[in-house]
Structure 1
């Protein structure tokens, strides 16, 4: 089981906060440092000092880290045009020496769109746009050097693009698709994704999500389906009292988090939870660290949980 620190900086974190956590995660041996792509705090917080852009952040981290994987869970297709997105991600991939991964989703949080003047189409159109973006981004990256790329879709058209720059990773950076949808999401993952992510689901529901992606992959003749991962809130302590203190610090209840698939409890309890995720099919776990000032928790997982994982 590979462990990733996953952050939600829209809740209240600046670049320096993210840099501190990313560098600690790298030093502690985590597989990756990922961040959300949101422009508005959720749950009534003020979000100070204000939002940071996901790919601007990752560009900075690319040159201030050296080993850890970097990516989004997930970039919103409503925020960016697919051509410029392909350029940005390829550039950050080069800046990082080939450590970038692109999680791409359709967008869902309407308030941040209206708050920052971003169009928010109906759900069906958002999925249509996401599918076209996945086709375009991967098409631009994998077009051979010296050849041109064109695309004529309902929402996006590219004509005679030089399809540059190319990312460092070949044939392209890994693509992550995730979500609980039962039809279009598995189909998109089967067609485009290197990894499918089950986000914030009850553990007993993960295996069904994995099975749907496997079935969708088989339906299109994909013999090797995407790898599988999951995301869950993190709240670990050396004893029950420390767990309770950490839960209170992020405004959550211990049993509520456990019941919704959270990676919660003492190190031994967390190892057991991660084992259940592995049995459901996950080989990578995104640990949602909501209190970015709590560096001790990140170190605790690295020292007391990670060594117990096979």
Structure 2
């Protein structure tokens, strides 16, 4: 099983003056500890989740700016957003951003993408926020554009929502055949169908529980059968939260959680860590958990 670290907060002690230096420390520590990937949210407001201690006015970095910074201070870990809302960037612009991140990082970019959900954020900053049906239509067109252009085809794209007369993209990504595409979400009719048709990875919430997660993967298998896709080609990733220490989880608890996810069929566990700025939780995961789950 592979591990990814998701960085979801930037309000640690000393913020905002030390956001850059602390983010570099976190990224470098995670890479040294053996994390395969580092992820940030693609949000402009912090999430509005008071039950989790999150408030919209807390510090939040633009996801691709943060990833570009992390690309400069790390060497091995893959880098991606969990996940880009399709309503935030025109696909021609997103194509260029992810391609450039891949080139500048030496071939380490992942495209995490989804239909978007944070209506308050969109309205607050003036981003379009069409109805869900349209957002899914735009998501599928964006995926088509990415796949087409990354294959080397720069012929005009004419969709319902997007029209690209000459989608030239130089330099092309270093990752072959293209940066891995991860689609986030558990919707059985649309999201998992898009995963089967276009994506290299899915992402489901670990808190759903292993029984429900197994059902979602069964749905994904059926979609793969329908479109003639090899289910084994798709990386199955779960997203969660780990709080180590007193009153939280022990390393053995995390190992047990990973064992359960692996038994269901997951390849990767991506999670945020409480008090990640302390660095110690990252080091504990690297020392006591990652070696133990390597063969799961």
Gap regions ≥5 residues in structure 2:
none
Query: How far is the alpha carbon of 1:297 from its aligned partner?
Result: 1.0
- Pair 46,206 (structure 1): closer, same or farther in 2 beyond 3 Å: closer
Separation (CA, whole Å) in 1 of partners of 2:275 and 2:155 = 44
The residue that corresponds to 1:291 in the other structure is: 275
What SS does the aligned partner of 1:196 have? strand
Separation (CA, whole Å) in 2 of partners of 1:24 and 1:59 = 17
Separation (CA, whole Å) in 2 of partners of 1:10 and 1:187 = 34
More divergent stretch after superposition (220-229 vs 186-195)? 220-229
Separation (CA, whole Å) in 2 of partners of 1:10 and 1:192 = 32
The residue that corresponds to 1:233 in the other structure is: 241
Separation (CA, whole Å) in 2 of partners of 1:38 and 1:199 = 18
Is residue 220 of structure 2 the alignment partner of residue 213 of structure 1?
yes
Please, what is the CA RMSD of the aligned residues?
1.8
Aligned length: 283
Query: How far is the alpha carbon of 1:164 from its aligned partner?
Result: 2.9
Separation (CA, whole Å) in 1 of partners of 2:91 and 2:217 = 27
The residue that corresponds to 1:270 in the other structure is: 254
TM-score after normalising by structure 1 = 0.86
What SS does the aligned partner of 2:277 have? coil
The residue that corresponds to 1:6 in the other structure is: 6
The residue that corresponds to 2:121 in the other structure is: 112
The residue that corresponds to 1:281 in the other structure is: 265
Q: 1:194 aligns with which of 189, 192, 200?
A: 200
Residue 199 of structure 1 contacts residue 230 of structure 1 at CA under 8 Å; is this kept in 2?
yes
Residue 275 of structure 2 contacts residue 281 of structure 2 at CA under 8 Å; is this kept in 1?
no
The residue that corresponds to 2:37 in the other structure is: 32
More divergent stretch after superposition (36-45 vs 72-81)? 36-45
Residue 186 of structure 1 contacts residue 212 of structure 1 at CA under 8 Å; is this kept in 2?
yes
- Pair 47,296 (structure 1): closer, same or farther in 2 beyond 3 Å: farther
Q: Deviations over 1:7-30 (max 9, x none)?
A: 113767634332221111011111
Residue 5 of structure 2 contacts residue 37 of structure 2 at CA under 8 Å; is this kept in 1?
yes
Residue 9 of structure 1 contacts residue 35 of structure 1 at CA under 8 Å; is this kept in 2?
no
Gap regions ≥5 residues in structure 1:
248-264
The residue that corresponds to 1:262 in the other structure is: none
Separation (CA, whole Å) in 2 of partners of 1:121 and 1:17 = 36
The residue that corresponds to 2:171 in the other structure is: 165
Query: How far is the alpha carbon of 1:155 from its aligned partner?
Result: 0.7
Q: 1:153 aligns with which of 143, 159, 184?
A: 159
- Pair 79,10 (structure 1): closer, same or farther in 2 beyond 3 Å: farther
